[in-house]
Amino acid sequence: MQIVCGTGNDGVTVEVLDTGIGIAHESLQRIFEPSAQVDRSLTSVDRNGVGLGLAISRDLARAMNGDLTAESVLGEGSRFVLTLPRVTETPVER
């Protein structure tokens, strides 16, 4: 796994890249749906999650005017990209 962070005029990005099993195109279309999970038989690790992590993460990113996207090739790996806008306002002192 590789994590790449970057900044630009528009904001910040965090990319998570892996060379794992990848996700089939038809499954990739639904991984951000609540309770959606890819085929557990494809992994050797016992996972007991309920499939909310990506849905919640994308909703949080979008609530902050950003986004979470995914690209994947079955058998080659996946790329997840979190983008968040740069904060331009000065925080209010309390």
Tell whether 52 is covered by a domain.
Answer: yes
Tell me: pLDDT of 4 over 70. yes
Q: Per mean pLDDT, which range of 12-21, 39-48, 58-67, 77-86 is the poorest? A: 39-48
**Nearest Cα to 81, choosing from 73, 72, 90, 89?**
72
Q: Give the distance, in angstroms, between the CA of residue 93 and the centroid of all CA atoms in the same chain.
A: 33
Tell me: pLDDT of 12 over 70. yes
pLDDT tens digits, 68-87: 999 999 999 999 999 999 88
Tell whether 7 is covered by a domain.
Answer: yes
pLDDT given for residue 7 in this prediction: 94
Tell me: pLDDT of 49 over 60. no
Tell whether 84 is covered by a domain.
Answer: no
The residue range of the domain holding 28 is: 2-77
How many whole angstroms separate alpha carbon 90 and alpha carbon 79? 33
pLDDT given for residue 51 in this prediction: 66
Tell whether 90 is covered by a domain.
Answer: no
Per the structure, the count of domains in the chain is 1
Here the CATH number for the domain that contains residue 43 is 3.30.565.10
Tell me: pLDDT of 17 over 70. yes
Tell whether 18 is covered by a domain.
Answer: yes
Tell whether 20 is covered by a domain.
Answer: yes
